[in-house]
Amino acid sequence: GRVLLKIFVVLLMLAGLAGGSAGMVVLHRKRVLQERNRRFFQKNINRGICEISYAIYGIFQDAKEAGVLQEVPEQNDDREFARQTEKILPWMEEGTYTAIVELVERASFGPDPLTKKDRARCYQFYESLEQQFWAQMPRQKRFWWKYMKAYKVS
């Protein structure tokens, strides 16, 4: 009787720890997504576009780490980086990333504020990367991609 009770208590504790850990992972993902959205959709649209650009570069690094992207070009010049990336990714239409880089340059160095439509274009490109890399993601990396890196997957 007592042995079974002890085993039951230990199992309850382990279940509680597992549930707590899962809850922590979900909360981490939610917090990262909220912070990312806060940076992307801040009041200063130009700054938000720059934040999306940083995240685009980060997603390429993470895709390489996950084994979905074989190489990330040298990043000496943003436009050349975009052209090289377009060549590496067969599913990316030529000129797509280059156009985003041009928007980012205007956001960073141009005299005029960009529009919400410009930011939406950058964000849609970012989301397309999340989706494309997820579609190619090896099963063993999916948890890491979705919960630890907190990329949207649907």
Q: What confidence score (pLDDT) does residue 7 get?
A: 81
Q: Which tokens in the block code for residue 106?
A: 């205007």
Helices (H), the chain: 2-40, 45-66, 78-88, 96-109, 116-136, 139-143
Report d(CA 119, CA 10) in Å as an integer. 52
Half-sphere exposure in the Cβ direction for 108 (13 Å, CA): 12
Residues making up the chain, counted from first to last: 154
CA separation (Å) from 143 to 1, 46, 68, 98, 118? Answer: 40, 32, 14, 31, 32
Q: Which amino acid is at 6?
A: K
Above 80 in pLDDT, residue 68?
yes
Per-residue confidence (pLDDT) for residue 20, from 0 to 100: 61
**Residue 59 reports pLDDT greater than 70:** yes
What is the tens place of the pLDDT at every residue in 77-86? 999 999 999 9
- Look-up of token digits 């950058």: 122
Q: What is the pLDDT of residue 19?
A: 59
Mean pLDDT of the chain: 90
Q: State mean pLDDT over 63-84.
A: 91
pLDDT bracket for residue 73 (50, 70, 90): confident
Among the listed residues 65, 87, 52, the one whose alpha carbon sits nearest the alpha carbon of residue 141: 65
pTM, full prediction? 0.84
CA–CA gap between residue 23 and residue 28 (Å, rounded)? 9
* Residues 68, 137 contacting (CB under 8 angstroms): yes
pLDDT for 94 equals: 95
Tens of pLDDT, residue by residue over 3-44, are 877 786 666 666 665 656 667 888 889 999 999 999 999 999
Q: Two tokens at 9?
A: 């208590």
Residue 153: pLDDT above 70? yes
Do 70 and 64 contact (CB within 8 A), yes or no? yes
Task: Quote the pLDDT of residue 25.
Answer: 82
